[in-house]
A and B are shown apart, each in its own frame.
Chain A
Amino acid sequence: MIELSHITRVFTAGARDVRALDDVSLTIPDGEIFGLIGSSGAGKSTLLRCINLLERPDSGEVRVHGVDMLGLGRGALSAERRGIGMIFQQFNLLDSATVFDNIAMPMRLAGVPTDRIRARVDELLGFVELSDKATTYPPRLSGGQKQRVGIARALANNPRILLADEATSALDPETTDSILALLKRVNRELGVTVVIVTHEMQVIAKTCHRVAVMSHGRIVEEGPVLDVFSDPRERITRRFVRTIIDDRVPEALVEKIRATPENYETWRLTYAGEASAGSSLAEVNKTHDVTTSLLYASVHEIDGVVLGVLVVQAKGTPEVLDAAKQYLRDAGVGVRQQDLDEMAHDEGNAA
Chain B
Amino acid sequence: MTDFIETYFATTPEVLLEAAADTLYMVGISLVLGTLLAIPIAMGLVLMRPDGIKGNRVGYAVLNVVVNIARSLPFIILMVVLMPLTRFIVGTRIGTTAALVPLTLFIAPFMARLFEASILEVPKGIVEAAQSMGATTWQIIRYFLLPEAWGSILLAITTGTVTLVGATAMAGTIGAGGVGDLALTYGYQAFNTPLMVLTVIVLIVFVQAIQSLGNTLARRTRNRA
Q: Which of B128, B139, B150 is A88 in contact with, Cβ under 8 Å? A: B128
B219 CB, min distance to chain A CBs, angstroms = 13
Of B141-149, B184-192, B198-206, the one touching chain A: B141-149
| Interface: B7 (CB within 8 A) | no
Q: With A94-B147, A96-B225 given, is the CB distance from A105 to B133 under 8 Å?
A: yes
Contact pattern, A 79-101, Cβ under 8 Å of B = 1, otherwise 0: 11110111010101111110000
Any B CB within 8 A of the CB of A138 = yes
Task: Give min CB distance, B54 to chain A, whole Å.
Answer: 12
- Residue pair A86, B132 in contact (C-beta under 8 Å): yes
Indicate whether A257 reaches chain B with its CB closer than 8 angstroms: no
**Cα of A80 to Cα of B133 in the assembled complex, Å:** 9
Chain B residues closer than 8 Å to A77, beta-carbon distance: 134
Q: How far in angstroms is the closest Cβ of chain A from B191?
A: 53
Q: Which of B169-222 contact A (CB under 8 A)?
A: 221
The 4 closest A-B pairs by CB, nearest first: A78-B134, A81-B134, A92-B129, A86-B132
Query: A84 near B132 (CB under 8 angstroms)?
Result: yes
Q: Are B131 and A81 in contact (CB under 8 A)?
A: yes
Q: Indicate whether A54 reaches chain B with its CB closer than 8 angstroms.
A: yes
- Name the contact of B128 in the complex, choosing from A92, A94, A105 (C-beta under 8 A): A92
Can you list 24 A-B pairs with a CB-CB distance of less than 8 A?
A: A54-B131, A77-B134, A78-B136, A81-B134, A84-B132, A86-B129, A88-B129, A90-B123, A92-B123, A92-B125, A92-B126, A92-B128, A92-B129, A94-B148, A96-B148, A96-B150, A96-B221, A96-B224, A105-B133, A105-B143, A109-B134, A109-B135, A137-B224, A163-B132
Q: Is the CB of B143 within 8 A of A95?
A: no
Query: What is the CA–CA distance of A79 and B83 in the complex, to the nearest angstrom?
Result: 51
Q: In the complex, what residue of chain A is closest to B127 when comparing beta carbons? A: A92
Complex CA gap A96/B221 in Å reads 7
Known: A81-B134, A96-B148. 12 other contacts (CB 8 A): A84-B132, A86-B128, A86-B129, A88-B128, A90-B123, A94-B144, A96-B150, A96-B225, A97-B147, A109-B139, A137-B225, A139-B225
User: Interface SS of chain B: helix, strand, loop or mixed?
Assistant: helix
Among A54, A86, A109, A139, residue most surrounded by chain B Cβ atoms (within 10 Å): A109
Min CB gap A114→B, angstroms: 15
Interface size class of B (residues with CB under 8 A): 20 to 34
What is the chain B residue whose CB lies nearest that of A139? B225
Bound CA–CA A326/B183 (angstroms): 103
Which residues does chain B contribute within 8 Å of A163, judged by CB atoms? 132
**Interface of A: prevailing SS:** mixed
Chain A: number of interface residues, binned into ranges = 20 to 34
Residues of A close to B224: CB separation below 8 A: 96, 137
Interface contact B133-A106, CB-CB below 8 Å: yes
Is residue A181 contacting chain B, with contact meaning CB distance below 8 A? no
Q: Closest B residue to A52 by CB, please name it.
A: B132
Contact: A108 with B143, CB < 8 Å? yes
Q: Are B134 and A54 in contact (CB under 8 A)?
A: no
Whether B125 and A90, one on each chain, are in contact in the complex, defined by CB atoms closer than 8 angstroms, is yes
Interface residues of A in 29-70 (CB under 8 A from B): 52, 54
Nearest CB of chain A from residue B96's CB, rounded to whole Å? 37
Q: Which residue of B lies closest to A165 (CB)?
A: B128
Whether A110 is near chain B, meaning CB under 8 Å from some CB there, is yes
Residue of A nearest to B148 (CB): A96
- Give the docked Cα–Cα distance between A92 and B216 (Å): 26
B132 pairs with A81, CB closer than 8 A:
yes
Once bound together, how far apart are the Cα atoms of A74 and B54, in whole Å? 13
The answer for the CA separation of A137 and B223 in the assembled complex, in Å, is: 9
Nearest CB of chain B from residue A89's CB, rounded to whole Å: 8
Bound complex: CA of A81 vs CA of B129, how far in Å?
11
Name which residue of chain B comes closest to A106, CB basis: B133
Q: What CA separation (Å) do A106 and B140 show in the bound complex?
A: 11
Residues on B with beta carbons closer than 8 Å to the beta carbon of A138: 225
Question: How distant is the Cα of A163 from the Cα of B225 in the complex, in angstroms?
Answer: 27
Cβ-defined contact, A81 with B133, below 8 A: yes
CA distance A97 to B122 in the complex (A): 14
C-alpha gap A92/B144 in the complex (Å) = 11
Q: Which of A88, A97, A109, A157 interacts with B125 by CB under 8 Å?
A: A88
* Per-position binary interface string of chain A over residues 132-165, scored 1 when its CB falls under 8 Å from any chain B CB and 0 otherwise: 0000011100000000000000100100000100
A109 lies within 8 A of B133 (CB): yes
- Say whether B225 contacts A82, CB under 8 Å: no
Q: Which of A79, A92, A97 has the most CB of B within 10 A?
A: A92
Looking at the assembled complex, report how far the CB atom of B206 sits from the nearest CB atom of chain A, in whole angstroms.
30
Contacts of B225 in A (CB 8 A): 95-96, 137-139
Cα of A97 to Cα of B144 in the assembled complex, Å: 10
Among the interface residues B129, B131, B139, B147, which one has the most CB atoms of the partner chain A within 10 A?
A: B129
Complex Cα gap A252–B108 (Å):
73
A78/B147 in contact, CB under 8 A? no
B136 to chain A, nearest CB (A): 7
Find residues 9-29 in chain A having any chain B CB closer than 8 Å to their own CB: none
